[in-house]
Amino acid sequence: MATSLMLGACSGKNTAGTAESDGKNLIGRTEVEVTDGRMTPEALWAFGRIAGVSASPDGKRLVYTVGYYSVPEDKSNREVFVMNADGSENRQITRTAVSESNAVWIKGGSKIAFLSSESGSSQVWEMNPDGSGRRQLSDYAGNIEGFAFSPDEKKLLFIAQVKTVPSTRDKYPDLDKTTGVIVTDLMYKHWDEWVTTAPHPFVADFDGEKVANPVDILEGEPYESPMKPFGGIEQLAWNTTSDKVAYTCRKKTGKDYALSTNSDIYEYDLNTKETRNLSEGIMGYDTNPQYSPDGKSIAWQSMERDGYESDQNRLMVMDLATGRRTFVSKDFDSNVDGFCWSADSKTIYFTGVWHATSQIYAADVAACTVRKLTEGQHDYAGVALLGDGLLALRHSMSAADEIFAVSPSSGEATQLSFENKHIYDKLEMGRVEERWMKTTDGKQMLVWVIYPPHFDASKKYPTLLYCEGGPQSPVSQFWSYRWNFQIMAAHDYIVVAPNRRGLPGFGMEWNEAVSGDYGGQCMKDYFTAIDEMAKEPFVDKDRLGCVGASFGGFSVYWLAGHHDGRFKAFIAHDGIFNMEMQYLETEEMWFANWDMGGAYWDKANATAQRTFANSPHRFVDKWDTPILCIHGERDYRILANQGMAAFNAAVLRGIPAELLIYPDENHWVLKPQNGVLWQRTFFEWLDKWVKR
């Protein structure tokens, strides 16, 4: 059976020809002009982004997709590529005006199935491995968002949205043009949408020619499976005999959903139509099930505590005959991120962050021991089987995702794809250095330092403190198309990126130290990082800036009231300014309750009162430094009024300030021209107030 590395739109040389763009319909690889080897916003948006790598059943070929972006046309496209498993004969096999995605091998490797909206809605298609013979397989009434064929290929499991909330127009048919929304419970908005539908898993028949007779596994139920906003086909799984489906679901709605992270792994029997809860009694997130190849066990990622979305993500294995559940990754004091079974069902390979890099590990299922396979200054972004070896995507602060083959015995990695070599050949990347610093409470903290290209230690450089979001997201060797350290370094800034308190990869005690203590040790860690670097002769301590997004944006707003003249300018993107308003404005209340400690009106709750006493808006009287606030109005996690309020406060206090507001962006910046505008505004502000 084919194995897949199913990731979202990831960053990511092919030796094949490039799609020929007609300027309107086709978007392919873009050639960019680079001066003095320096990264530019236009070069960053020219990168092809690899995703969804799948190995053929015989392990000899790979299929994957690459996303391309056009800044002039302000849109993107995704195309399909095929290459041999040794990286040779890499060919682009689609060149269309619509995006192809979710490409996988079917019919013994003689065909490739994929999603395309060529017919007007997103449906499952197939084609030959050379791109010929395109043929539509499904004709579902809505859009198919992800799919997986059963092992015997007689069934298709797919995801589609189902209406779960009646609209105002349903209630009042005569008001067919009204835009008003009547809200009666919580979770009426989520990340960037007004919640009116839920994704459901469907199972349909497949006779090799057509998909027919789809059945909604959750018919009549208002729940999500997979779970929004990030869940996809990885949250569903076929068993080996093609008669059962495991799916991830949090069977809650409204206020109950808003207050709980307790999702479970359910198993649906296609023959009996019965469902059983495999993870019953585990109170946190249970996600991403995978059956073992021998059919005897099922594994999934599991969190222990309800309401804590950043709890340790454990690798759980259940014996299907006895129901016995085992915490297999207990030797690994960090999170299991992506995983796959070995062919003999004795080992599970997984990726996880430790000391600010994400590597591949092997867990012995019987012994519950963990062995590290890979090393190096990079992150692996998932793992799958490739014949007798492993298949993975890998990136770093200096390179976007590429496809690698990895030896399970030696950990040796061989690069297979070179999607962006034509850009790297024109660029000089800044050196990335690992430093360990002693914090104010005597602990050791890992800090990444990124130097400008052509760095000269005899000169003095302006320097930026980078504040991470999450708040519990690792500052590992990540590659970003917005918070890209190499483009900051290319503008002649040294970047200081600390793994401050509250980040995974340094043990659970370190990871949990931020919850309920936003203004505490994590902020002292920021000061440690920038103060230690400011002692270096090549750092200009009179030209320091501070930047960050989300919790990093909160950090910027908080540091603006406590920095004692350290910084010359601040930039906050999608940051929390007023904690009391954030508590009531955000949608996922479990996050607010856990991280803030509870409601601000609970005067007897010392943790909550400490949190709200440290709200950045309470220290605006101490603001004295120019600040740029950036926010998207479709950000329903941290509403745009937070950025507007911070900007207004700065202006009223006579502090130089600027607001970049996006009416059509969410918690991220996803459109090409908006992304370029973000970069230009970012560096114009820093050059004006820090470099001068």
Q: What is the arithmetic mean of pLDDT over 367-383?
A: 97
Which residues, at least 6 apart from 226, have a Cβ–Cβ distance to it below 8 Å?
A: 146, 159, 199, 201, 232, 233, 234, 235, 236, 247, 248
pLDDT in tens, 633-691: 999 999 999 999 999 999 999 999 999 999 999 999 999 999 999 999 999 999 999 99
pLDDT number for residue 4: 67
Dig out the tokens for 526 from the structure: 């920021």
Q: Is the peptide bond before 201 cis (omega within 30 degrees of 0)?
A: no
Domain 430-691 superfamily per CATH: Alpha/Beta hydrolase fold, catalytic domain (3.40.50.1820)
Dig out the tokens for 525 from the structure: 């860690």
DSSP β-ladder status, 49-55 and 61-70: antiparallel
pLDDT number for residue 28: 81
Residue type, 217: I
pLDDT number for residue 18: 35
Backbone angles phi, psi at 584, to 5 degrees: -95, -20
Q: What is the arithmetic mean of pLDDT over 181-202?
A: 96
For 659, left (φ over 0), alpha (ψ -120 to 50), or beta?
A: beta
- Name the β-bridge partners of 446: 436
For 680, left (φ over 0), alpha (ψ -120 to 50), or beta?
A: alpha
Q: What is the arithmetic mean of pLDDT over 160-180?
A: 95
Whole-number Å distance between alpha carbons of 302 and 396: 27
The domain spans of the chain are 430-691
- Name the β-bridge partners of 206: 211
pLDDT number for residue 35: 86
Whole-number Å distance between alpha carbons of 508 and 371: 19
Res 16 pLDDT > 80? no
| Whether the Cβ atoms of residue 519 and residue 368 lie closer than 8 Å to each other | no
Of 424, 341, 344, nearest to 390 by C-alpha is 341
Give the other-Cβ count within 10 Å of 167's Cβ.
14
Categorize the per-residue pLDDT at 9 as very low, low, confident or very high, splitting at 50, 70 and 90.
very low
For 281, left (φ over 0), alpha (ψ -120 to 50), or beta?
A: left
Q: Give the H/E segment covering residue 650.
A: helix 641-652
- DSSP annotation string for 437-481: EE-TTS-EEEEEEEPPTT--TTS-EEEEEEE--TTT---SS---S
Whole-number Å distance between alpha carbons of 180 and 169: 9
pLDDT in tens, 28-43: 888 788 888 899 999 9
pTM of the model: 0.95
Q: Give the H/E segment covering residue 1.
A: none
Q: Is 242 exposed, middle or buried (0-12, 13-18, 19+ CB in 10 A)?
A: middle
| Whether the Cβ atoms of residue 65 and residue 51 lie closer than 8 Å to each other | yes
Res 146 pLDDT > 80? yes
* Catalytic residue numbers, as ranges: 550, 635, 667
